[in-house]
Amino acid sequence: MNTPMTGKNLLRLLPLILLAGCGKTAGPVAPQGVGPAIQDVPVQVETGGEVDPIASPDAVHGGAFASWQGDYPKSLNQWLDYNSFSVDVSNLLFEPLLELHSTENRPVGDLAQSWEISPDKKTYTFHLNPAAKWSDGTPVTAADVQFYYDVIMNPKNLTSLFRVDLSRFSRPEVLDDHTVRMTATEAHWKNFWVAGQMYAFPRHAWADKNFNDVNFDFPVVDGPYAMDEIKTNRSIRLKRRADWWGRIQKYEQGKYNFDYLIFKSMEDRAKALEFLKTGGFDEYSIYTAKIWAQDTNFPQVQKNWVIRQNVYNDEPKSFQGFALNMHRPVFQDLRVRQALQYLLDRQLMNEKLMFNIYFLLNSYYPDLYPNNINPAVPVIPYDPDKARALLQQAGWQVGSDGILARDGQPLNITILHYEGSDMRHLNIYLQDLKAVGINANVELTSQATWTKRIDNHEFDMVWANWDAVRLRDPEEMWSSKTADDIAGNNWPGFKDPEVDKLIDAQKTEMDLDKRNDIDRQIDQRLMAQSPYVLLWQTGSARILYWNRFGTPKYVLSRYSDNGPENDPLIYWWYDPAKAAALDDAMKRDVALPGLPAEVHYGQ
């Protein structure tokens, strides 16, 4: 399961259904069938404020960008249908009060131009930018922010996932047209960000609507893009707003540069890659090591018409591994949990199956350390002899049938997996488990059954792949209070008094860097207690894109808070000179000058 943060949703600790797709190639200014170039309404840029250090001063407006987005969503309203497609689109149509700075761990205003935090850290007062306007010219007001709260908290609306955090707040107070105040029931660092992630909804346009019916029709927006064309079950096209109020802000200069953004639905990844080769869309992110190693050296890449790059930045990285259900008595013994880690031949799998692209995890928060490696903890090796010794210490003895047993009961372990998933890694692991006498097997279920079983703690081991954000809250995943929750994130049912104390200490620490220090202490304890059999993680974003675009200095942003696939939508631009050179090279069938195969942020 994944819990990614996409777009400007910084705290949404919820399963996100990842969709993927494709689009249409960008032309010189406006591709065929897209429409005319957009002429901006002249604005006076605010003299105060700061620039986004990722955005390039060389960026220009124009052209189009087609991206791959996958299964067509049942709604483009992320508050009703939370998936990657709807999140990507919604965050281009609507704006929150604030976001995280692109290179520093501090907030930057979007709708809000300033704010205050009360001494008890429970009340937050936001002052909206008086220039903020809806696309119909109506001012964005504090009442629109209050209306957002009312819509989300209305039990008739299908917004329960978003009510969890907001339920800790009383209804926002409208102090005047541009001032709104939020008050929480208890102090917690996360409250500020929950309040700051409030959006504004157009009360004047939606007051009489059933929100559950607001799925594809968004005529009134306050973000940088507006809906342009919908082809049901095929594609969504957005048009850059010439009159977007946000262009007055220095922080938005050099961003949202494409006149048109095209999201086209295509389910099959292999077909999507083939579609990229034909110019069907403009960028393709690779998540499978085999595809990257074996299938991305096609002629267009060899001629540098399509750029193939590994981009290394500081994108938050979490972990993946086998969750050990500590509700099961067998996994309540630390020695058994440790033995299972020693029986996983990660190095072999990385070499034979993944082309040595991944690094082996020795942390639950790898990005908190240089090179993603915790220097205080050794990387656990494959060591069957060590595993046998630990199991023997725990009282498990090999019987005449070759199976480990204790008190007459065999050591049975079932790995829950869903149908259609890759079995190559599991088959290697099963062989090594059985070699020491563990009666191990895999149970394949439908994905729906797999999810239900996990929600109800009905499994022994299960492979989990978690995503990460800069604003970490370890409580949901590691607090003893969540160990028995149904459909929670604490899959192992982990309970540890030391971790609970650290989580409590973190709650009222407003400084992100200090909270990260606490997270490192939590990490040390987690490594010692082994609630997961850790696997591996990738250290870079692997991307292919047509060589017609200008990019920031390091191609992607520092943290890829919007996701590496979405950085281009925000920071890239159509470069007419590059496009002309590409067209000429393709006509003459010659190569273009190459670009670095690897890009490292800050180097």
- Identity of the residue numbered 401: D
User: 380 CB contacts (<8 Å, ≥6 apart)?
Assistant: 341, 342, 362, 534
Selection from 87, 90, 110 nearest residue 98 by Cα: 110
CA dist 438 and 267 (Å) reads: 39
Confidence (pLDDT) at 6: 38
φ/ψ of 541, rounded to 5, equals -95, 130
What is the dihedral angle through the alpha carbons of 411, 417, 419, 423, rounded to the nearest 10 degrees?
-80
Mean pLDDT by 10 residues, the chain (603 residues): 41 37 31 72 81 96 92 90 89 96 94 95 96 97 98 95 91 98 94 96 96 94 96 92 95 97 86 92 90 95 98 93 98 98 98 95 96 94 98 96 95 94 94 98 94 95 92 94 92 98 93 94 98 96 97 96 87 97 98 97 94
Using DSSP, state whether 284 is helix, strand or coil. strand
CA dist 58 and 37 (Å) reads: 19
Check if the beta carbon of residue 496 is closer than 8 Å to that of residue 346: no
pLDDT, one tens digit per residue, over 352-364 is 999 999 999 999 9
Helix axes 189-196, 497-507, angle to 10 degrees: 50
Taken in order 40, 43, 47, 49, the sign of the CA dihedral is negative
CA dist 316 and 561 (Å) reads: 8
Confidence (pLDDT) at 15: 35
User: 552 CB contacts (<8 Å, ≥6 apart)?
Assistant: 54, 55, 56, 571, 572
Beta strands 412-418 and 439-445: pairing type? parallel
Give the pair of three-digit tokens for residue 457: 């703690």
Check if the beta carbon of residue 527 is closer than 8 Å to that of residue 362: yes
CA dist 17 and 4 (Å) reads: 9
Domains (ranges, CATH) in the chain?
95-216 (3.90.76.10), 320-538 (3.10.105.10)
- pTM of the complete model: 0.88
